[in-house]
Structures are given as C-alpha cells and as structure tokens.
Amino acid sequence: MNNDQYNQYDAQRLHEEVARELGISVDELTTWMINDIERVTEGGKEVGHMVVFRESTPPEILDKLQHRQSQFTAMTGVIKLG
C-alpha cells in the first residue's frame, strides 16, 4: 500500500469513527462537513474533534447530530485509529 492509499484509508477510518460518534452516516458526514478541526490542549494532548457543517445542511441531518455545540458544529471525543 503506497502513502496515498494509506492516507486515504486513515481518512476513511477517521470519517467512520467521527460519523459514528455524531450519530450520522459516513455519507452524511462527508457530504455536509466543511471542516474537521482536531482539538488539543495547550500541552498538546488531543481531546477530540470539532466538526463544522455547511449552512445548507438539511435540518433533518442537523437534528440527528449527537454532541452538538451550535447550529452547525458538533464535538467528538478522542478518536483512536490504532
């Protein structure tokens, strides 16, 4: 597996875990997400992800979100891929 394939595999696994934590499908996540920001403490410890959704995201998708922080953002805990 080359580096590009490995990175795509990791991105796919990350999207699967983020979607699972938020209570939506991977397709819904990848269609409506505009940004996934890793959250870290000042000491560099990962504490989760903040996912930002498009303003055009249908309300029925936003209503399904778990861990919603604002109208278009939701948070996850730490995502472990390894």
Whose tokens are 């936003």? That residue is 62
pLDDT in tens, the chain (82 residues): 444 544 777 888 999 999 999 999 999 999 999 999 999 999 989 899 999 999 999 999 999 999 999 999 999 999 887 6
Cβ–Cβ under 8 Å, residues 53 and 64:
no
On the CB side of 19, how many CA atoms lie within 13 Å of its CA?
A: 17
If you search the block for the tokens 């000491």, which residue do you land on? 43
> pLDDT value at position 61?
97
CA distance 46 to 43: 9
**Which pLDDT score is estimated for 80?**
80
How many other CB atoms are there within 10 angstroms of residue 10's CB atom? Answer: 12
pTM for the predicted model, two decimal places = 0.83
